[in-house]
Structures are given as C-alpha cells and as structure tokens.
Amino acid sequence: MSKLNVLIGGEYSGTIRDAFLALGHNAMSCDFSPTTVPGPHYQGDRADVENDGWDLAIFHRTCTFMANSGAKHIYLNMSKNGGLNEDRWLKMGRDAWAFWHHMQTCPVRFAAWENPVMLGYAQLMIGKPNQTVQPWWFGTDENGPDNVKKATCWWTKGGLPPLRRTGTLDGSTAREEVFKMAPTSDPEERRMARSKFTPGHAAAIASQWGDFVMAQKRTVTNPTPKMNLHPALVTNAHPSGGDRHGE
C-alpha cells in the first residue's frame, strides 16, 4: 500500500489536507464552510462522510464554549460575583459531551481531535489530552508562520504516537499573536483568525502520523480500498447548515 485515505474534519483552510496531499496521500477536508484553498473538500457535516472507509481522521471540533480563554464568560458580567451564565454553562456541557461521545463512536481506527487548552469543567467530561504542543516546535524561521505561541491539545485514538519536534526554534522568540489579537467588529472573524493552523505543525502530522498508520496498515493483508473522494462535493452544502468548526 502506497497511500492513505485521510479525512480532515472541521477544516476549510486545507492546511492539513494539503500536507497529506503533498506526501502523495488521498486527503479531503470537510467543513460547513467552503474551502478557501482549492482541493478535495466536502462542504457539509463530517458525519455525512465519516463512514467512508478512512484510514486516518483528524478533527477540529468547535472550541468556543470549552476553551479556557473564555473562562470569564461562564459568569454573568464576566465576574463570579455576577452569578452563573447558565446558557454558557449549558453550551459548554453540551459541546464537551458531544466531543467525548464522538471519540467513543468515531468509526475511523486511527483518529485525533484538536482543541486549545480547555476549561477544567469541560476536560472533566472529555478527559485529559494525550499531548499538548506548541506551533513553534515545528518551525525553523523566527519570522515564519510557525513561530507563535498557541498551546494545542491532542486527544488520540488507535495508538497514534506523540508528535515529535521537527523545528530548530526554542520558543524564546515565539510571538503571542493569538493571545494579543485585538477584538474585531465581527466576533466570528476573530474566532476564525485565532483558530488558524500552522504549516509546520500540519507537515509533522502528515509525516509522523501518516508514517505510523502506513506501518500499521502494512501488517494487514487487505490493501486500502479505492475511494471516491467526492471531488464534486465542493459545492454540496449541508441542507440544514450548522456550526462552522474553523480551521
């Protein structure tokens, strides 16, 4: 077997998808938003295509209500003295349970889920991540896109190994672009910008996890089945809409 079939759920940027494509694998991104970079992409719910026989799946789940960076919003007036923001707590709980449930039921043997550092309350339901990395781990240029600080957590399935550092940077010059990002008139615009994935991180995922799954697949006598990667589905919008995952 010379290539893998890889699904990138919750990605519209094509960053991880294109890293796998660059190594010769079949890869398709999936999101409710259209892809911003031409390439194999399904616009709709990842559940529509999750059972299509993928070898590896990478998921970016919505983090809005679970991220530790939003801790002040779980209280009214952003103060514990203001009382609970019950709507926010409910949304956090629902998203955390959905995250956990997806990890339990995902049909793909090898899979990984990404999110930023979570609120402890959400993590109690989901469980601790297998690894937390920084983008600068995978960078070689101080002025490049990878030299940023953004703690990124990974929950993995199927024995995927921890990602190894591939860069030459030590973090001392890493930029705090995400933490210091100024508010925008459209909160969604800021959320999308903060969730931007870096190319070095994506390349490490494609190389290291791709090689690991390839090695595991070599022990199986049946080759990976040929798949229809839905090239025509770029414009096939999900009929009911839904949250945009944002990568």
Q: What is the pLDDT of residues 144-173, one digit of tens each?
A: 999 999 999 999 999 999 999 999 999 999
Structure tokens at 13: 């940027």
Whole-number pLDDT of residue 247: 58
pTM here is 0.83
Angle at 181 between CA 11 and CA 178, to 5 degrees: 50
Torsion sign (Cα): 180, 147, 57, 158: negative
Rounded mean pLDDT, 219-234: 52
Strands 26-31, 5-9: pairing kind: parallel
Strands 110-116, 26-31: pairing kind: unpaired
Whole-number pLDDT of residue 240: 34
What stretches of the chain show up as alpha helix (H) in DSSP? 15-22, 86-105, 120-126, 187-194, 199-204, 210-217
**Amino acid residing at 100:** W
Q: By percentage, how much of the chain surpasses pLDDT 70?
A: 81
Residue 72 neighbours by CB under 8 Å, 6+ apart: 78, 79
pLDDT class for 204, splitting at 50, 70, 90? very high
The closest alpha carbon to 8, from 246, 192, 220, belongs to 246
Q: By percentage, how much of the chain surpasses pLDDT 90?
A: 66
pLDDT class for 187, splitting at 50, 70, 90? low
Number of Cα atoms under 13 Å in the Cβ half of residue 96: 22
